[in-house]
Amino acid sequence: MKASPFLGPLLVLPALGVILLLFVWPLLYSLVGAFVTGEGWGLGNFAKTVELYRSDILFTFLIVGLSTLLIAVFAVAIGGYLVLGSNPRAQAILRWLYRWPLFIPFIVAGQLMRTFLAKNGLLNGMLVEAGLLTPLQTLSFLDWRGIVIAFVWKQTPFVALLVAGAMAGLDRSMFEAARNLGASRLRILVEIVVPQVMQTLLVGLILSFVIMLSVLSVPLMINAQTPTMITANMAFRINAYGDYGVANALGVISYLMAGAVAWIYLRYAVRERMEQR
Amino acid sequence: MPSEAFLDIDRVAVRYGSTPVLHDLSLAVGRGELVALLGSSGCGKTTLLRTIAGFLSPTSGRLRIGERDITRLAPDRRDMAMVFQSYALWPHMSVAQNIGYGLKLRRLDRAAIRAKVEDLLAMLGLAGLGERNVTALSGGQRQRVALGRALAVDPEILLLDEPLSNLDARIRQTVRHEIRALQRRLGITAIHVTHDREEAMVMADRIVILDAGRIAQAGPPERIYNQPASPFVADFMGADNSVTLEADLDGASVVIAAGADHAAARLARDLLPTANTLPGQGTFSLRAFFRGEAAALVAADEAVTGDETEALLLTGRVLAVSYPGGVWRHEVAIGERHFLVDDATCHAPGDAVAVRLPARHLFLFPADGTTKPRGG
């Protein structure tokens, strides 16, 4: 039976339609919308955005950037312990435990962190009970620190899962060869293991960066003050003022941030590929 | 056997969980000696090497280098360097970085590292490849980089874990000799794990045959080959044809009665390589092991009188003949069994022939329970 030359495109069409309709169209719409002001085309929305939300944009970038760095450190530490650790029981427990936050939605993570990090929360309660703090010295962590803790707690398992998988795929005798020559575990992790899983680590971190950039629930729940993250500002512009122009401009700025890290990754990937040749 | 042990393995036992892998194994290796650990997969040879390297801890027993007890020392404190079967080169580093890594760990300055790496590259025939990525090298070159990385730290003992098994046959032949020559030149002590009989024969000063976690036999290659200590060793070293015989033993000779598939023979004990494994007196069932290439074919009617003191004759019939080059290869049916025997003259299929097994190449062992299972 000879397939019709139109069959292939026809089969692709539904998927393509969904992407065009639900992704490309809204993306273009919001991109264009960022440049539409009350007086026609212009950069008015961006001027207003910079004037009102300059510190929030910086805040967002720093929070997400810091979280990404911490996620990298924890994910590498978890993956490293799973491949290089010497205590099989501790490894088994860690392997079982570390994935749990993956199954918890951001909004639940936010709620957990509220009860954990508040001035009268579980963390301070434990510190007081342990005699490390007096009740008068307790501080609420429900500010930028709370957001970072929630993000790192929620996203580390995701990156650790990818990284640990890549590490487990490496030839174990590569670690033994290094140990045989006198490298400590930490050096093996930093000099032998991490460089070989760098691609996977970067992919995980970029995906995390983009996900964290788009989370609304956590900043709303944990950080009800200014400066805050631009997702909260976007929601506010739309809900309080119906101001889609500034919200779109904030959206474009977060595209740019996501685009910048993707660009860094692509440059790295291309360079890697050139070196492999 | 070296008079003075340099590496002394003293009644070492190793288990994986509850499974014993090495049973109170003792072995002494002399300084500058190349010892091959030979055995089929699962015999414990790699376990022994990894125990020596310090990647596994023995449950009992001691390891010593000279006077120094190294049983509980970390792998890098033992003055040993290992070459891995997979080479275990680090693909994100250049050739020079791979070789120089151990020196970097020892905090040598850059110039000293570069000089040492250049020396090694030249010695290993890799000059000019220092900046190359290891993934861009051929198998033989990678193998030499792995060797260079191990030699860079000037180890007292070089551990080789099947270093040639990933090379194709032609390169393997030359690399064998290269490694052997290098080891001689540097005077380094080496322990070489392999499952390749010929590789062990060509490279080693001494071969240690392991079977199920125990040493089946240890000795120079020619002794292992010509005087196997057990049916297992005989079989493993290529004497994998065997027949069962009934024999009367006395102090000086082994008298074999004529059977359905063999002629009578009276072989002097001092002609038999394995005479010391035979009981002194009495009637016994024996198993004779021989190599196909040690046998010769004679036409059934050409048997020489008096030959029965020199050789055992198995009587049979030629089933098929082929010419692999140099000699004719005959498939000969003897009783229920078929043997491949090479001979310079061609015997036609259907001919009655005798397979002549010279006493010097006949390995006789008691056929009772002391026979070890094949493989292992």
Task: Give yes or no for residue B265 having a pLDDT over 80.
Answer: yes
Residues B278, B224 share a domain: no
Task: Give yes or no for residue A203 having a pLDDT over 80.
Answer: yes
Q: What is the pLDDT of residues A110-128, one digit of tens each?
A: 999 989 988 888 988 898 9
- Cα separation, B362 vs A35, in Å, equals 97
CA distances from A209 to A75, A101, A262 (A): 14, 17, 10
Q: Is residue A4 part of a domain?
A: no
Name which of A176, A179, A196 is nearest B91 (Cβ-Cβ): A196
Q: Is residue A127 part of a domain?
A: yes
Segment A197-203 shows an average pLDDT of 93
* CATH code for the domain in which residue B248 is found: 2.40.50.140
Strand partners, B218: B208
Residues B25, B139 share a domain: yes
Residues B310, B181 share a domain: no
Determine the distance in angstroms separating the CA of A177 from the nearest CA of chain B, rounded to an integer: 7
Q: Does A108 touch chain B (CB under 8 A)?
A: no
Whether the Cβ atoms of residue B158 and residue B130 lie closer than 8 Å to each other: no
Residues B245, B111 share a domain: no
Q: Which of B235, B216, B212, B233 is nearest to B42 (CA)?
A: B212
Residues B81, B182 share a domain: yes
Token pair belonging to B110? 């850059």
HSE-CB at B300 with a 13 A cutoff on CA atoms is: 15
Q: Does B18 touch chain A (CB under 8 A)?
A: no
Q: What is the pLDDT of residues B38-73, one digit of tens each?
A: 998 889 999 999 999 999 999 999 999 988 999 999
For B318-372, the DSSP string reads EEEEEEEESEEEEEEEETTEEEEEEESS---TT-EEEEEEEGGG-EEEE-STTSP
Q: What is the pLDDT of residues A246-272, one digit of tens each?
A: 999 999 999 999 999 989 888 888 887
Q: What is the pLDDT of residues B106-131, one digit of tens each?
A: 999 999 999 999 999 998 889 999 99
Q: Is residue B373 part of a domain?
A: no
Residues B167, B74 share a domain: yes
Domain that holds residue A182: 41-276
Residues B206, B129 share a domain: yes
Q: Is residue B372 part of a domain?
A: no
Contact criterion met (CB < 8 Å) for A195 and B84: no
Q: Is residue A12 part of a domain?
A: no
Q: Does A169 touch chain B (CB under 8 A)?
A: no
- Specify the residue for token string 């036409």: B299
- Cα separation, A133 vs A190, in Å, equals 36
- The CB density around residue B33, as the number of other CB atoms within 10 Å, is 19
Higher pLDDT, A273 or A248: A248
* CATH code for the domain in which residue A178 is found: 1.10.3720.10
Q: Is residue A192 part of a domain?
A: yes
Q: Does B92 touch chain A (CB under 8 A)?
A: yes
pLDDT at position A226 is: 81
- Cα separation, B10 vs B306, in Å, equals 50
* CATH code for the domain in which residue B49 is found: 3.40.50.300
- pLDDT-derived band of residue B335, with 50, 70 and 90 as boundaries? confident
Which of A62-76, B172-186, B335-349 shows the highest mean pLDDT?
A62-76
- ipTM score of the complex? 0.80
B-interface mutation test, from A172, A176, A180, A199, most B Cβ less than 10 A away: A180
Domain-terminating residue out of B201, B232, B263: B232
Nearest CA in chain B to A177: B88
In chain A, which among 231-260 make CB contacts under 8 A with chain B? none
Q: Which residues contact A28 (CB under 8 A, 6 or more apart)?
A: none
Residues B191, B252 share a domain: no
Residues B272, B152 share a domain: no
Contact criterion met (CB < 8 Å) for B88 and A171: yes
- Cα separation, B204 vs A148, in Å, equals 62
Q: How many domains does chain A have?
A: 1
A-interface mutation test, from B55, B90, B104, most A Cβ less than 10 A away: B90
Domain that holds residue B53: 7-232
Q: How many domains does chain B have?
A: 2
Q: Is residue B371 part of a domain?
A: no
Name which of B53, B81, B90 is nearest A192 (Cβ-Cβ): B90
Name which of B86, B105, B135 is nearest A182 (Cβ-Cβ): B105
Domain-terminating residue out of B167, B200, B232: B232
For B62-124, the DSSP string reads EEEETTEE-TT--GGGSSEEEE-TT----TTSBHHHHHHHHHHHTT--HHHHHHHHHHHHHHT
Q: Is residue A160 part of a domain?
A: yes
Domain-terminating residue out of B174, B208, B232: B232
Residues B227, B121 share a domain: yes
Q: Is residue B24 part of a domain?
A: yes
Residue type at B299 in one-letter notation: A
**pTM (predicted TM-score):** 0.81
CA distances from B39 to A200, B194, B201, B212, B236 (A): 40, 7, 13, 9, 8
Task: Give yes or no for residue B375 having a pLDDT over 50.
Answer: no
Residues B126, B11 share a domain: yes
Q: Is residue B2 part of a domain?
A: no
Q: What is the pLDDT of residues B197-214, one digit of tens each?
A: 999 999 999 999 999 999
Q: Which residues contact B252 (CB under 8 A, 6 or more apart)?
A: B268, B269
Q: What is the pLDDT of residues B288-310, one digit of tens each?
A: 999 988 888 888 777 666 677 88
